[in-house]
Amino acid sequence: MSAIMLHVGQGGNQVGQQLWSTALNECAPKGDTLINRETRKARAILIDSEPKVVRSSSIRRGVENLWNPDNVIFHQNGRGNNWAMGYKDSQSPSGLRSSLSDTTMEIFRKEVERCDYYTGCIMTHSLAGGTGSGLGSRLVERLRDEYPANYIINASILPASSGESPLQHYNSCFGLSYLQEYSDCCILFQNEGLLRMLGRQIQLLGGQGVAMLNLNEYISSCLFPMLQVERGEKVDFQSFMNLVPMPSYKFIELQSSPFLYNKAPSFTQAASWDQIFDNAILQAQMLEPVSENKALRPINCNLATHCLVKGEDAYSHVRKIPSVYQKYRAR
């Protein structure tokens, strides 16, 4: 059973680079799940409306031989941080190239044909820009139409409350509406919450500030265990779907502990399982906006929780999870 990764736009490709780098550093993916056993190339498609990021992916040390050159798709002009321009997805100005969505779907079809048994796809993208939000919405719509029986999982990055683009909130709103309608499950990463949470942790570790690399490292460290590529098994889409008790409640969040800072664990010594669980709970609290007015504080309700524990003697400590969850609810 195989899955295909789609990395759309600048943010999606940067996260995708880090995700594959993390996978290769921890352990080479086995089997035929995310790597084609014949060509030894990743089952991944890199899409952007500008060449800068996808070209840097193809020459990045450690993953430069991982991509199929035919699966790297880009145009020369951007989408102006505009959801409508990304969704409309017209041909290149010269008229010599077809639209990005048409090219992507054709390459996606060929990639599906190379799979023994195609189960679904995972898309990484940002909802702030025009390509990630607009083209991402268009691709999700077309994937649902052409592959209605297969899973679609989105890992989406939400913009901060204030940023460079005045259209980022419109882009996010339109993008989320399409994810709500066509995606099976959407993993949300909030830029503002991540910056606040990582800033506090890096300050405790003696760092100077949060870099874009730190954000990408954290997001990839959250996604990598869920994909379970190190076991050589199928991507466990059911673990995602277990967190979606109803079709209309499909937005989930992930936290990972320990936090990787510059590719090194935030714990300098061997940590107890209690420390790891408490650190994960602390991260969840840091992601929540803080307000002195109790009436303005958000009321969060978890409908489902999935805990994935990895490490030596990990399963002997799973019994701790119910008591830790009760402690979290008490807080």
- pLDDT for res 32: 64
Helical residues (DSSP H) of 150-228, grouped into ranges: 168-182, 191-204, 212-227
- pLDDT for res 315: 56
- Distance from the first to the final alpha carbon of the chain: 41
Query: The tokens 């799940």 sit on which residue?
Result: 33
- pLDDT for res 62: 63
How far is Cα 134 from Cα 319, in angstroms, rounded to an integer? 44
Query: The tokens 């609810």 sit on which residue?
Result: 329
Specify the DSSP class assigned to residue 69: G
Q: Which residues, 6 or more positions from 207, have their beta carbon under 8 angstroms from its beta carbon?
A: 261
How far is Cα 280 from Cα 305, in angstroms, rounded to an integer? 13
* pLDDT averaged per 10 residues in sequence order, the chain, 331 residues: 89 90 71 76 90 76 79 84 84 61 93 90 93 94 94 92 82 94 92 82 72 85 73 68 80 74 53 65 58 52 64 58 52 44
- pLDDT for res 46: 93
CB 150 within 8 A of CB 1: no
Specify the DSSP class assigned to residue 154: E
